[in-house]
Structure 1
């Protein structure tokens, strides 16, 4: 029976204790980091003929990490962005190891000196106001599924939420009384209050009525689910978007961008607010960004100012709904890594 490797032991502490308990990172981050180590093991098997149960802490060196990153780009055709994401995961582990393996701190800090590769600034894709209103108008409101889809996509647009913020959103974070708003928890569990429009409230109430959710009750389960009443996934959210985007492309060729993702809704909301004259600082607060270059010298916008500015900038795009454990054996390491964050 193979003994658990030293790397496996420290990965256990990293994923089970350090990331969720000490750092409080999201499941999305844990999943991203675990994916990196899955690929790390694949690299050693394919390039060095070393199986997972033989990969040790000693194999994490600056040179091996650089070789790994080069392999990602040349052999797996990974983009510079993916390469940088993998590097960030390994750097996070090495930062953790500085305090776990102090006698070898120089080794861990050598990996930390590896710089991310510069990437081209990608053009932000967004829907025009006509494109967004046309897409939302494709959703039928005379069926339970249609009202669910409308609630999801209208919420995504009106709040400018990230996909994960929508997926984890709970009913207890809706305030239907004036000033109407929702509370979102973003990266690093950072809390922000986002004003919402009356039409979104109507849509959410119709959806909650279909699900039998009392708006006066405190619900801690995610508000938005899939067709089987299970947790909505990012892939499921993208599927809903693309289903209606396909309808628009058939009827109105050229109206929508070639690719649309959940984040496109967030870009679209920000763009529409700026086009309507909303101050960039207000947009910064609504989206939950840490900074917008030179804007940190200004005080945070108070809720009343933000509400008035948002009401003035509101563009009528949303339709109104119709009134009708840990591995036991080292050979299980890859499966354990793949299951993290699910």
Structure 2
């Protein structure tokens, strides 16, 4: 982060502690939200200082976090942090006009899917009966959805050649045939290997489907509809009363990473989103860095210590 942002965030932290008497957790959350804004501004707007930022840049930031489809609560909290920061700058007479005054959460054209808590994710995953014929396959698929934030189309079209077990990455072909490298966790790898060794290696595979990872009983790649049905059955089995689809796992993946403290750029890269600005696309992040983000901030990995 540039020195101007760093300096003002330090002052903001002091203000929240001394003037507002906020808890340490609240102070950390507010400062982290401003740091994310700083990263976004530096990448997309030639490194403006916080005193030079206008409502245009703030609205662009809000649109970007909306595109990441974070939970409404997470978006609202982030915007609250930004607004508090600019109220502080006005209070200190560092800026004359508050550019965040009219900032609102994005009005989403469609309702976001329900977010699953980490506990609910675990319930669903651990409720899949591994003794049944397709249990290992279903567990491996849902582990991958949650571990890597894949789209349902990316899951059903995943091929053996796209899995790099040695480095823990998937080479995903996303929308518009754009490729990206996505890390996946130890649990996903564990169940993927069990599925391949215990189930897939013993199947009769239909001609033309040999490379697809996930197959139905007839040895052919799965359909989108089948994934929806598998998830519905898994959710019903553990009695969760939410409307859960494959996208819910992607949505929960992004929300849990951001809530855990992950860098917005890294989450955006893993989801396969381009920058919301037309003039610039986020620079591709170092592979080791993406792996570290997943290791440090994904709750499934923290569970494993």
Q: Does 2:119 align with 1:169?
A: no
Please show how residues 29-40 of structure 1 align to structure 2 within 5 Å: none
* Cα distance in 2 for residues equivalent to 1:199 and 1:163: 19
Q: Does 2:206 align with 1:222?
A: no
Deviation of 1:317 after TM superposition, in Å, equals 7.5
For the 8 Å contact 2:294–2:301, the answer to whether it is kept is no
Q: Which has the larger radius of gyration?
A: 1
Instruction: List runs of 5+ in structure 1 lacking aligned partners.
Output: 1-117, 214-218, 250-254, 321-342
Aligned to 1:107: none
* Cα distance in 1 for residues equivalent to 2:300 and 2:191: 14
* Cα distance in 1 for residues equivalent to 2:270 and 2:276: 12
* Cα distance in 1 for residues equivalent to 2:286 and 2:113: 29
Aligned to 1:276: 260
Root mean square deviation of aligned Cα: 2.7
Residues 193 and 184 of structure 1: CA distance in aligned 2, closer, same or farther (over 3 Å): same
* Cα distance in 2 for residues equivalent to 1:294 and 1:139: 43
Residues 305 and 139 of structure 1: CA distance in aligned 2, closer, same or farther (over 3 Å): same
For the 8 Å contact 2:296–2:302, the answer to whether it is kept is no
Deviation of 1:298 after TM superposition, in Å, equals 5.3
Equivalent position SS for 1:212 = helix
Aligned with residue 235 of structure 1, among 218, 225, 232: 225
Deviation of 1:137 after TM superposition, in Å, equals 1.0
Q: Does 2:230 align with 1:246?
A: no
Equivalent position SS for 2:300 = coil
Deviation of 1:296 after TM superposition, in Å, equals 4.8
Deviation of 1:318 after TM superposition, in Å, equals 11
Aligned with residue 183 of structure 2, among 185, 191, 195: 195
Aligned to 2:287: 303
What are the superposed Cα offsets for residues 173-232 of structure 1, whole Å, 9 maximum, x if unpaired?
11111x21111100111101101112211111111112118xxxxx96211112332221
Q: Does 2:144 align with 1:155?
A: yes
Name the TM-score, length of structure 1 as normaliser. 0.51
Deviation of 1:156 after TM superposition, in Å, equals 1.6
Aligned structure 1 segments of 4 or more residues deviating by more than 6 angstroms: 317-320
What are the superposed Cα offsets for residues 242-262 of structure 1, whole Å, 9 maximum, x if unpaired?
00111122xxxxx542x1111
For the 8 Å contact 2:170–2:181, the answer to whether it is kept is yes
Name the TM-score, length of structure 2 as normaliser. 0.57
For the 8 Å contact 2:124–2:238, the answer to whether it is kept is yes
User: Which of the pair has the greater relative contact order for Cα pairs under 8 Å at 6+ separation?
Assistant: 1
Deviation of 1:273 after TM superposition, in Å, equals 0.8
Equivalent position SS for 2:182 = strand
Residues 294 and 267 of structure 1: CA distance in aligned 2, closer, same or farther (over 3 Å): farther
Please show how residues 80-229 of structure 1 align to structure 2 within 5 Å: 120-177=109-166, 179-209=167-197, 210-212=199-201, 221-229=211-219
The size of the alignment, in residue pairs, is: 191
Residues 264 and 155 of structure 1: CA distance in aligned 2, closer, same or farther (over 3 Å): same
For the 8 Å contact 2:275–2:282, the answer to whether it is kept is no
